[in-house]
Structure 1
């Protein structure tokens, strides 16, 4: 699994100049502050950062919980359930080498946008450019798990799993050789087959996704690993969001 942040919300050059925002780490915080204060302020959206930016970003949080007054405001808004103001901030990820089983789980989450590698148009044959489908092996399928058959034969769980993958590849190849189109031959490919996708989500949705799929919350290992990787990619460019990736999320 490889997860990489490839795009995120950026403020326009004209707004940057008007608002005086030259710290790139404050960009998405400025968007959030503008959205939040627009709901409660007599000021126009374009006036909020120029007139209130110093107050919120330049002063220590009055609630004693750390950060700036902007952080205090974000905490108050999310706790009060007004998290729709965080939907104006979006992140786009390249997600590579995850299983189709994970994809099925991922698409159950709302307000995420997907562009997924197609098994209809990307041929998965051994002789195709892709060289056959790759697959994800669960950690529970390990070489030290043995299955006995009779008295003289013993095989590991990983041997059984690998054999099933080889059989699926063989069946796919033979169906294609028999003239079955790729869109139908793909029916024999397993949940373990990997795929690549591009995914975009707003901050509120991604916080909710993490809250539901984080490690220790009953999620399967692969999607829990994805949740952590997404959190890490976001916090890497927006450290101010680290406290929001908790058990409750933003919603």
Structure 2
């Protein structure tokens, strides 16, 4: 994306400060599965030997839908609401293209979840991206108003970073000074600022998230993420998530539904 000049004129005509680049606008999140639970065959064998037991499985991939026995066993657990068994299956995700507003909502889900989020203290937001709500993006006048506000906030951030770096000469350690500067300057950045977040979650926690955040009353951005996550997990582990369907409502919104809620 083309960026504007990096300096602006001061009152005396001399170059002064950085000018914020034209905002990169994001309207679609991305979810990456970066980790899956694995078993240690050697440890399992030692356990079986010690206990005088034998064991076999009908699947080599956790959650994969294979023979009738595997599918029906999982479906019975779900239909009987024996959800604690689902807590053994875990995945790791990286979610990008989402706003700080979204992440504030996401981290309210504690049971069965773990998070590590991009830090605005350690990461310079000079080239930050911004997530535009769909309801604003589709209205030309509202989009222009939103974009103006984002530009102003981003420019204020850059001005604060520059000014505070000069105002804190007593902090000799440059890394520590940058942290102090950014933690103060970030206060003017909008909720629309893009973030990236690493998540770990088990199957039961994922189902709970999809049911709550994939519902009609959920906030628009987190509902979009929930439905994208559902589609991803229906490919990854169809036996665990195949009971859900995505329904399009009369108003055009998509929602997730299942006959076996609150497992």
| TM-score clears 0.5 | yes
- Residues 1:210 and 1:144: Cα distance change in structure 2 (over 3 Å): closer
- Verify: 1:10 aligned to 2:5, yes or no: no
Cα distance in 1 for partners of 2:134, 2:41 equals: 47
Please state how far the C-alpha of 1:250 moved relative to its aligned partner.
4.5
Is 1:123 paired with 2:118?
no
Gaps (5+ residues) in structure 1?
A: 31-56, 59-67, 126-131, 146-155
Question: 1:150: which partner in 2?
Answer: none
Is the 1:135–1:194 contact (alpha carbons within 8 Å) kept by the matching residues of 2? yes
The CA RMSD measured in Å over matched residues stands at 2.5
Report if aligned partners of 1:244, 1:250 keep a CA contact under 8 Å in 2. Answer: no
Give the structure 1 partner of residue 190 of structure 2: 190
The answer to which structure has the higher helix fraction is 1
Encode CA deviations 1:16-55: one digit per residue, 9 max, x unaligned: 8974447433x3469xxxxxxxxxxxxxxxxxxxxxxxxx
Which residue of structure 2 lines up, in the alignment, with residue 158 of structure 1? 143
Structure 2 residues without counterparts, runs of 5 or longer: 1-28, 49-53, 166-180, 245-256
Shift of 1:195: 0.3
Which residue in 2 is equivalent to 1:151? none
Q: How does 1:32-181 map to 2 (within 5 A)?
A: 68-111=68-111, 112-125=113-126, 132-142=127-137, 144-145=139-140, 156-179=141-164, 181=181
Q: How many residues align?
A: 198
Q: Any idea what the Cα deviations from partners look like across 1:134-157, whole Å, max 9, x if unmatched?
A: 111111113645xxxxxxxxxx11
TM-score w.r.t. length of structure 2? 0.68
- Residue 177 (structure 1) shift: 1.1
Q: Distance between the aligned counterparts of 1:236 and 1:29, measured in 2?
A: 9
